[in-house]
Structure 1
Amino acid sequence: MAVFQLQRTVPLPLDEAWRRLTTWSRHGEVVPLTRVTVRTPPPTGVGTRVVARTGFGPLAFDDPMDVTVWQPPRDDTPGVCRLEKRGRVVMGWAEIEVRRGPGGRALVTWREDIRVRFLPPVCDALLARAGRGVFGRAVNELLRRG
């Protein structure tokens, strides 16, 4: 189990930070070699199915995820989204939290537990470091782009 967390504070309203992070198709624009599709009709909520396809040609795999918690931010109530990864290759969960931070800015916390089938537990630290790097850059880009 490779668990990691990252935080970002951005000068955005809570609802805008939430929108930028939970418009799932945008993730495919910022995660290398990945295309993201939503397999259920809008709007996003509990039960939404998101599939990230990563790789190229025969070396690609699907990372299907189901939204199991969906609480958009309201006033000063934090927004929380939890995705359960249900793939044959990638398993675990991801949580996105958006709350009011210092100076009225949005404070984003991304937590993830990622497991990759066939990787032994000795690889967990490396996998967590790689996840923190890839998702850290992705979160930065998602929050930067309007």
Structure 2
Amino acid sequence: MPTFTLTRTVPLPLDEAWRRITEWPRHGTAVPLTRISVLTPGPTRVGTRFTARSGIGPLAVDDPMEVTAWRPPADGEDGMCRLEKRGRVVLGWAQIEVRPGPGGRSRVVWQEELRVRLLPGAFDGVVAATARTVFGRAMNRLLRGD
């Protein structure tokens, strides 16, 4: 069960960093070959469900997720969101935090445990390295506003 953490410090106020990193449909434009379908009406809250479908045609994999904690930043306090992955193939969780950073910036921390069902533990290093690269690039794009 590989776990990885990504951290970015960005020249954005907390609420804008939060909005950019938790706008779920935009994750589909930031992650290659991925489309996001939000399954519950907005706004996002505990219980919001969405699915990331990654791949091409019959080789695509669904990654259904549910928001299990939702605390947007307020009054200069940290924001935190936790997602539980509830798929048949992709399992685990992700936690996104937005914190005050130096000089009025925001620090965004994305921590994730990513398990692929039936994939032996010997592949954990490859899964973690690939996830760090893919999600790191996605995080950069989301926070830039691309």
Tell me the TM-score normalised to structure 2 length: 0.98
Gaps of 5+ in 1: none
Partner of 1:9: 9
Cα distance in 1, alignment partners of residues 17 and 53 from structure 2:
24
Calculate the aligned-residue CA RMSD, in Å.
0.8
TM superposition shift of 1:133? 0.5
Partner of 2:127: 127
Cα distance in 1, alignment partners of residues 74 and 82 from structure 2:
17
Q: Secondary structure, in 3 states, of the residue corresponding to 2:21? A: helix
Partner of 2:140: 140
Per-residue Cα deviation, 1:100-128 (whole angstroms, up to 9, x for no partner):
01111000000000000121011111111
Q: Secondary structure, in 3 states, of the residue corresponding to 1:131? A: helix
One-letter amino acid of the counterpart of residue 66, structure 2:
D
TM superposition shift of 1:77? 1.1
Are 1:52 and 2:52 matched, yes or no? yes
TM superposition shift of 1:61? 1.4
Per-residue Cα deviation, 1:51-95 (whole angstroms, up to 9, x for no partner):
000111111111000000000000221000000000001000000
Q: Secondary structure, in 3 states, of the residue corresponding to 1:130? A: helix
One-letter amino acid of the counterpart of residue 11, structure 2:
P
Cα distance in 1, alignment partners of residues 56 and 126 from structure 2:
23
One-letter amino acid of the counterpart of residue 2, structure 1:
P
Cα distance in 2, alignment partners of residues 107 and 61 from structure 1:
31
TM superposition shift of 1:19? 0.3
Partner of 1:37: 37
Q: Secondary structure, in 3 states, of the residue corresponding to 1:103? A: helix
Identity of aligned residues (%): 65
One-letter amino acid of the counterpart of residue 127, structure 1:
V
Q: Secondary structure, in 3 states, of the residue corresponding to 1:32? A: coil
Per-residue Cα deviation, 1:18-71 (whole angstroms, up to 9, x for no partner):
000111000000100000010000110000001000111111111000000000
